[in-house]
A and B are shown apart, each in its own frame.
Chain A
Amino acid sequence: GAVVSQHPSWVICKSGTSVKIECRSLDFQATTMFWYRQFPKQSLMLMATSNEGSKATYEQGVEKDKFLINHASLTLSTLTVTSAHPEDSSFYICSATQGGTDTQYFGPGTRLTVL
């Protein structure tokens, strides 16, 4: 149980385009989803926390107009990187928690490369 998927697993795009990443909880309802970014050989950096039906809470320094998060249902959250630039190239990972627990289950990650 507690499986989280992400799509796509990797994406290459041109600078200035927008990219949408989906995060789904496959066998449970995710009350809270988290989005992280990880650069090579660095630790996880929390970008934002989202609860179903509410606006996401962004961490300090993360531009909410650039990283749009939509948590439309209890099984789906999306992260859209708008007007992507090469410095946005990174490994984006989502995680989810079930109601009543605080254990975070991670998706497999999406590797974004912006040319």
Chain B
Amino acid sequence: QKEVEQNSGPLSVPEGAIASLNCTYSDRGSQSFFWYRQYSGKSPELIMFIYSNGDKEDGRFTAQLNKASQYVSLLIRDSQPSDSATYLCAVNPNTGNQFYFGTGTSLTVIP
């Protein structure tokens, strides 16, 4: 079992729709959860992090964390073609600063 699992996609949504990206993790003791966006040929850029159960909103992005079910999700409202990228879920298992990364979900927003 991988430490962090994501649906590789591709996920396609029409412009203006809500894109929902999901991630599950295996280490129940994990405390920190991160979403990164990676455009093709570029390095990952941080979208947001979440530490507590519930929702955290930042602009069009909402991260949702459910530690009991060991999943974290990212919602992108009013999706734009510029949101087309691979989204990486990362989890800190609390054994140091090393992250476990998922393989990423490829999102395409269709104009």
Contact = CB atoms under 8 A, between A and B. Distances in A.
Interface of A: 32, 34, 43-44, 46, 49, 91, 93, 97, 102-109
Interface string B24-56: 000000001010100001111110010000000
Interface of B: 32, 34, 36, 41-46, 49, 88, 90, 92, 96-99, 101-104
A103 B98 CA distance: 10
Contact of A102 (B42, B45, B97, B101): B97
B9 to A, nearest CB: 12
A49 B98 CA distance: 8
A51 B92 CA distance: 17
Most B CB contacts (10 A, CB to CB) among A97, A102, A106 go to A102
Nearest to B4: A43
B94 to A, nearest CB: 9
A107 B32 CA distance: 21
A104 B103 contact: no
Contacts of A104: 34, 46, 90, 97, 99
Given A43-B102, A102-B92, A103-B34, A32 B42 contact: no
